[in-house]
Structure 1
Amino acid sequence: MTQHWPGLFQEWSPGPTPFTEYAVNNNNMEEMAVYLGLAWHLTAGLARYTIPTYYRDDVAQALGREPVLVDWEYEIEAEDPHMVLDNGFVPGRSTMDRHAPNSWENANRAGLFELSTPRDLVSLLCAVLGDATAEVSLFAVAPGADRRTDLVASLCTSARPSLPSVLRDEEVFVDLTIGSDVGYYDAVTVASPADLQLRIDALAVDYAARIEAYENNLNDLSDMTAFLRALRQLAGLTLDAA
């Protein structure tokens, strides 16, 4: 995106804000709404689980529930604006919160959280956007307890897993890497055993149109209410809907 709402650089009144509603601030700006929409629509119809890199306990507090502990997390490096480095699965790690149960004992394990609504994903992003770069990985798999059990098992093996060993059939992996400091960049990584090209192309056309409409109406956004309404249109999401 090339244009941004001037209100992002002003003081916000108490109440719903761009950050609480879409993880948008004056550093990670309106493109966050686009990433949210892309990730949610690409994983539609599947059960969504996510691993937030490093900030496991912060996310648990934000979502109000504990994760399933797993041994592996995914790593994408975006320190070059023209190249993304896919490191695949790496050993899990986490912050150590002295107030969280067993946090110290489980510092070398990642946390897998189930996402029910887009607002869960927003809350998760708000919890991790406190460093030079942040990353969350979504595993969208077939619904059902048995598939969930198998997903957890595939992330708890002694041997390093790979996406082909974790995903099945029409399932989808989406990784959001968000750069905040100078020298770090954003990346959206998508993988699936299925051919997603038509879906991705359709979403690209849809979001290009949403971005154009947003930027054309930018001068008409006179207050926070209007801006939040515009972000909803930009994201193409109802935050509390499944």
Structure 2
Amino acid sequence: MTNPVRELRDFAAAALVEPVPRDHTEPDALFRRRRVVTAVTLVVGSVILGATLRIPPGDDLFYIGGLGLAAVWIAGGLAAGRLHLGWAHTREEGFARPVVQPLALAALAIGIFTAGAVVVGQIPWLAGAVDEVLDHARYGSLGLIWAITVINGIGEELFFRGALFAAVGRRHALAITTAVYVLATAATGNLMLAVAALLLGLLTGAQRRVTGGVLAPIITHVLWSSAMLLLLPPVLDLVR
């Protein structure tokens, strides 16, 4: 008979704790170049992020800013150096592309954040911080905002869990990249976005550390951000 506790423990270990074997060593010259490109991209992206999320909801400039931000993250992530899709552990003690695990982790994250929204919705100043972000979808084109959200999710993972993760070195990469992700998001001046960046950064960073690539973080991030865009407005409206 299957032991659910053991199954859950084994899943957590395979998805978030035990790295798959790989060798992504690169020459010192390429590593230094990666760091320079990453640093420049981080500064430019942080400035654009802060400016974009300060654009009033309903203003068409938000679409331009959002697409420009995605372009910066994607271009910087790809220009910094080689990225890998990564591999995941399987039940047969082999390896496969990470798809099932990030799907499950995305579902778990969505459930936790949705439950958290029930609490946040009853605290006006916290709910207001969330509304500052969601209002862009309320007063703009939901389809276009969703597309920008997806593209930016991909771009953020290519950069933060791709280029930046590789650029900081092997020691403490999870902690460093998560801290940088939070600080970059803090440029928006929105506390709730910074909290979300902390939790999402830890989750996707752990996936990057285990799989050695960006595919798992991308899947989790895109599904999570899409769900938050669609689920949070009705949840907040319901509990207020």
TM-score by length of 1: 0.22
Q: Greater relative contact order: 1 or 2 (C-alpha under 8 angstroms, separation 6 or more)?
A: 2
Choose between structure 1 and 2: higher helix proportion: 2
Choose between structure 1 and 2: higher strand proportion: 1
TM-score by length of 2: 0.22
